[in-house]
Structure 1
Amino acid sequence: MALSHKTRRRLSLFLLLVWLPLYVVAAVTLAGMFERPHIALEVAIYVVLGILWALPFRRVFLGVGREPPEDER
């Protein structure tokens, strides 16, 4: 089932305004539970976490910044 352009725009806003801040708080809280690693390892962990959040949602963000197709106007 393909999502309409309007649905993808709304879902992307929800993901950016609600899900992402919750994910950041959870990631920082989880990382704070462990002893602080070497700075290079810590940066690598945050880079990986920063990429991982978007992987399941990459289809939602495709084409969101473009004009809606003619058949959906």
Structure 2
Amino acid sequence: MALSYKARRRWSLVILLIGLPAYIVAAISVVNLFDRPAIWLELLIYVGLGIVWALPFKFVFKGVGQADPDAPQDDGDA
């Protein structure tokens, strides 16, 4: 079942305000469990994790920045 435009906007806000900071803390915690790698490897790990977090949520963010497709259209005949 597809999410409505309003539901996708709400979920994207929740993901960005709660999920992303939680993911950042988790990623840093996991990387810190091991000895600190070389700076280039650490950067590569964080860039990879930064891309991976968004892949499952791609359908939520798709089209959120555009106008609501279900909203009534204004003719401009005022």
Residue of structure 2 in register with 1:7 after alignment: 7
Identity score, percent: 58
Residue of structure 1 in register with 2:76 after alignment: none
Larger radius of gyration: 2
Residue of structure 1 in register with 2:57 after alignment: 57
Residue of structure 2 in register with 1:68 after alignment: 68
Residue of structure 1 in register with 2:34 after alignment: 34
- Give the gaps of 5 or more residues in structure 2: 72-78
The code of the aligned residue for 2:31 comes to: A
CA distance in 2, matches of 1:36, 1:18: 27
Select the structure that is richer in helix: 1
TM-score calculated relative to the size of structure 1: 0.94
Q: Which runs of 4+ in 1 moved over 4 A?
A: none
CA distance in 1, matches of 2:42, 2:25: 16
Q: Name the count of aligned residue pairs.
A: 71
Q: CA RMSD in A?
A: 0.6
CA distance in 2, matches of 1:35, 1:42: 11
Name the SS for the 1:34 alignment partner.
coil
**Relative contact order, higher structure (CA 8 A, sep 6+):** 1
CA distance in 1, matches of 2:38, 2:17: 31
